[in-house]
Amino acid sequence: MYRFLMAALLVCMGGALQAQQPQQEDARTFAKDIQQPGVQVFDVRTAEEYNTGHLPKALQADYTNKPEFNERVKYLDKQKPVYIYCLSGGRSSKAAQWMRENGFTRVVELENGVNAWKQAGLQLEGVNTKKTQLTMEAYNKGIAKGVVLTDVGAEWCPPCKQLEPVLAAFLKSHQQVKLMKVDGGNDTDVMKAIGAKGLPTLIVYKNGKEVWRKQGVATAEELAAAVK
């Protein structure tokens, strides 16, 4: 009985301690904490806002675009801390509440968002770094010969990050396949021309002819079957 009571007490204390953990942090504390290993940094602004500057290693999903948000959030690890932010804190607060109600064990908000980050004198990444777009001429040249796998993705896209090790292993075991990268945050003209409406989008070409396509994360088995 004594052991049972002690175990119950420890469980209650653990729950109380977890409840007492701060759900919001000021910019400098937030900046320190996102350097911890295993932390997921999550930007819930639009892609356009993200491209004006973002926090280090931030993944992105637009909270106001429910289909996009609901799809991308599935690729975050619910058991690892999520440090979430938007411009001023409104959208991230709503997104964080939704995530807590849907099984995420720890979600920490940046109090007052990017505005507070800037006011604290902290630097954003990706400011004024927009690259020249890939042209359709260059794209068509790249897919013209042999077996080519086009990967339309972005480093800030959660499912794209999950896809990365799958692609790396696949390309290592299928060295005859060439990779054509299309930056989903930059190469918008090519994306429109090839009909890539979501990230990631994978397309296989054989001598310039499309033979397979998938929007979303593919398995190594699917890719292997597509290039046969």
* 87/170 Cα distance (integer angstroms): 38
Q: How far is CA 117 from CA 65, 71, 104, 123, 124, in A?
A: 24, 27, 24, 8, 8
Contact at 8 Å (CB) between 173 and 202? no
Contact between 99 and 73 (Cβ < 8 Å): yes
Catalytic residue among 58, 73, 107, 160: 160
Distance of CA 190 to the CA centre of its chain: 21
DSSP single-letter state for residue 122: P
- 67 contacts 74 by C-beta, under 8 angstroms: no
69 three-class SS: helix
Q: Is the dihedral of CA 80, 81, 85, 89 positive or negative?
A: positive
Query: Does residue 86 have an active-site annotation?
Result: no
> In this structure, are residues 199 and 154 in contact, taking their beta carbons and an 8 Å threshold?
yes
Cα gap 163→155, rounded to integer Å: 11
Q: Are 131 and 182 in contact (CB under 8 A)?
A: no
Catalytic residue among 99, 157, 163, 204: 157
Instruction: Please confirm, yes or no, whether 160 is among the known catalytic residues.
Output: yes
> Which sequence positions are flagged as catalytic?
157, 160
